[in-house]
């Protein structure tokens, strides 16, 4: 999961979070030629210059991370001109640095890196850039913008903000409403950002008060244990925000075991199991706020565009942006069918 602050351009809402950023929007125009006046942006699936993309991510020990790897591989298969060199993945900094250095030595055309630790892997990002290999920094941002050509990732503060807004709108007419929060790992900056966004949103609803918060570990087991503690300590409340759908599986188990149905729940990330529950609409889970793993597919699109000297159709610039922050859409029963194809297991 991402761990550092996001101070980047907010680009595109549901269209970005629902699918690929560039599948239908890389420009066919040469880099040194302005697009023709009135030219309509279109899909750029036509084969171009062959491109070898090196992909290095952390170990897929979480549903979201597994979806990141799957999105990258499936997107690369879409293009006949793309060869994907993918590493085994590691949560050990030294091992991942070694894997990236191997890709650099192979002289890949462009690198996509989701670092296990953005700060720790900054130097290898700089090494790649100095070697003339552009880097697409995926989600966990490097400590220096010189270590990457383009950053693309999610909006942790926006997740909390939109979760809080959704809950606020559901409870705005209820006097003395109370909410609780099942957070992720407090050692991660992303958790602090999600909590801050949630708290800031609730400031707009003076009738709502947050009465409890527990931090879990992004696992089913921790979600179940921490949720059980919250339920025991809070015999009544009106809403729950859970930061992560993986730990939400455990939270829902604890809720079922306690026989509780007297509140609404909002999840986070966009797991298929959460979307299925939202669609069924027969339990407490009413929404989930996306942190879309489709960002990895978009990162492959960006890498291909970089290697082929293309920009983004629909924008005046001839270059791809330096940073792209995905929107944290709220998935409810009204729009769940639209987002189900992006749900991860």
What residue ranges define each of the domains in the chain, with the CATH number in brackets?
14-154+292-328 (3.40.50.2300), 156-290 (3.40.50.2300)
The tokens describing 96, both together, are 């991942």
Q: Mean pLDDT across the stretch 164-190?
A: 96
Do 45 and 20 contact (CB within 8 A), yes or no?
A: no
| pLDDT band per the 50, 70, 90 thresholds, residue 307 | very high
| Of residues 159, 127, 158, 160, the one with CA closest to residue 142 | 127
State residue 1's pLDDT score: 45
| Of residues 106, 131, 150, 121, the one with CA closest to residue 57 | 121
Percentages helix, strand, coil for the chain, rounded to the nearest 5?
40, 20, 45
State residue 32's pLDDT score: 36
State residue 311's pLDDT score: 86
Looking at residue 83, what DSSP letter applies? E
| pLDDT band per the 50, 70, 90 thresholds, residue 31 | very low
Residue 42 has pLDDT above 80, yes or no: no
CA pair distance 41, 135, nearest whole angstrom: 25
Residue 38 has pLDDT above 60, yes or no: no
CA pair distance 125, 139, nearest whole angstrom: 14
| pLDDT band per the 50, 70, 90 thresholds, residue 15 | very low
| pLDDT band per the 50, 70, 90 thresholds, residue 322 | very high
Do 193 and 212 contact (CB within 8 A), yes or no?
A: no
| Of residues 211, 249, 250, the one with CA closest to residue 228 | 250
The Cα-based distances of 242 to 205, 251, 261, 332 in angstroms read 19, 8, 16, 15
| Of residues 77, 59, 30, the one with CA closest to residue 301 | 77
State residue 234's pLDDT score: 97
First to last CA, the chain: 15
| pLDDT band per the 50, 70, 90 thresholds, residue 208 | very high
State residue 44's pLDDT score: 67
| Of residues 278, 279, 293, 266, the one with CA closest to residue 201 | 266
Q: Mean pLDDT across the stretch 269-292?
A: 97
Residue 4 has pLDDT above 80, yes or no: no
Q: Mean pLDDT across the stretch 260-265?
A: 97
CA pair distance 224, 221, nearest whole angstrom: 5
Which residues face 135 on adjacent strands?
Answer: 111
Cβ neighbors of 19 (< 8 A, separation 6 or more) are: 294, 297, 342
Residue 28 has pLDDT above 80, yes or no: no
Q: Mean pLDDT across the stretch 34-47?
A: 45
CB atoms within 10 A of CB 32: 7
**Which parts of 146-301 are beta strand (E)?**
150-153, 177-183, 208-215, 239-242, 264-269, 285-290
Q: Mean pLDDT across the stretch 146-160?
A: 97
């Amino acid at each position: 999961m991402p761990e550092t602050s996001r101070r980047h351009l907010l680009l595109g809402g549901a269209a970005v979070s629902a699918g690929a950023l560039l599948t239908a929007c890389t420009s066919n125009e040469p880099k040194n030629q302005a697009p023709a006046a009135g030219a309509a942006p279109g899909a750029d699936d036509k084969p171009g210059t062959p491109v070898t993309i090196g992909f290095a991510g952390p170990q897929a020990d979480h549903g979201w991370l597994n979806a990141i790897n799957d999105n990258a591989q499936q997107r690369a298969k879409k293009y006949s001109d793309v060869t994907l060199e993918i590493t085994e993945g590691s949560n050990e900094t030294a091992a991942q640095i070694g894997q990236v250095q191997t890709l650099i030595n192979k002289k890949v055309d462009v690198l996509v890196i989701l670092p296990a630790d953005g700060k720790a892997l900054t130097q290898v990002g700089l090494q790649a850039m100095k070697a003339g290999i552009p880097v697409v920094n995926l989600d966990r941002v490097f400590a220096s913008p010189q270590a990457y050509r383009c950053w693309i990732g999610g909006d942790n503060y926006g997740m909390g903000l939109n979760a809080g807004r959704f809950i606020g709108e559901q409870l705005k007419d209820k006097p003395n409403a109370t909410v609780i929060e099942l957070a992720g790992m407090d050692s991660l900056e992303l958790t602090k950002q999600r909590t801050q966004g949630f708290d800031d949103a609730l400031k707009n609803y003076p009738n709502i008060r947050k009465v409890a918060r527990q931090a879990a570990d992004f696992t089913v087991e921790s979600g179940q244990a921490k949720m059980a503690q919250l339920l025991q300590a809070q015999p009544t409340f009106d809403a729950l925000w859970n930061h992560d759908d993986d730990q939400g599986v455990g939270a829902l188990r604890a809720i079922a075991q306690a026989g509780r149905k007297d509140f609404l729940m909002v999840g986070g990330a966009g797991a298929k199991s959460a979307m299925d529950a939202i669609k069924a609409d027969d339990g407490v889970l009413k929404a989930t706020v996306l942190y879309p793993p489709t960002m990895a597919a978009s990162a492959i699109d960006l890498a291909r565009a970089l290697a082929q000297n293309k920009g983004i159709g629909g924008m005046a610039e001839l270059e791809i942006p330096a940073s792209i922050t995905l929107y944290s859409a709220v998935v409810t029963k009204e729009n769940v069918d639209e987002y189900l194809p992006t749900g991860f297991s």
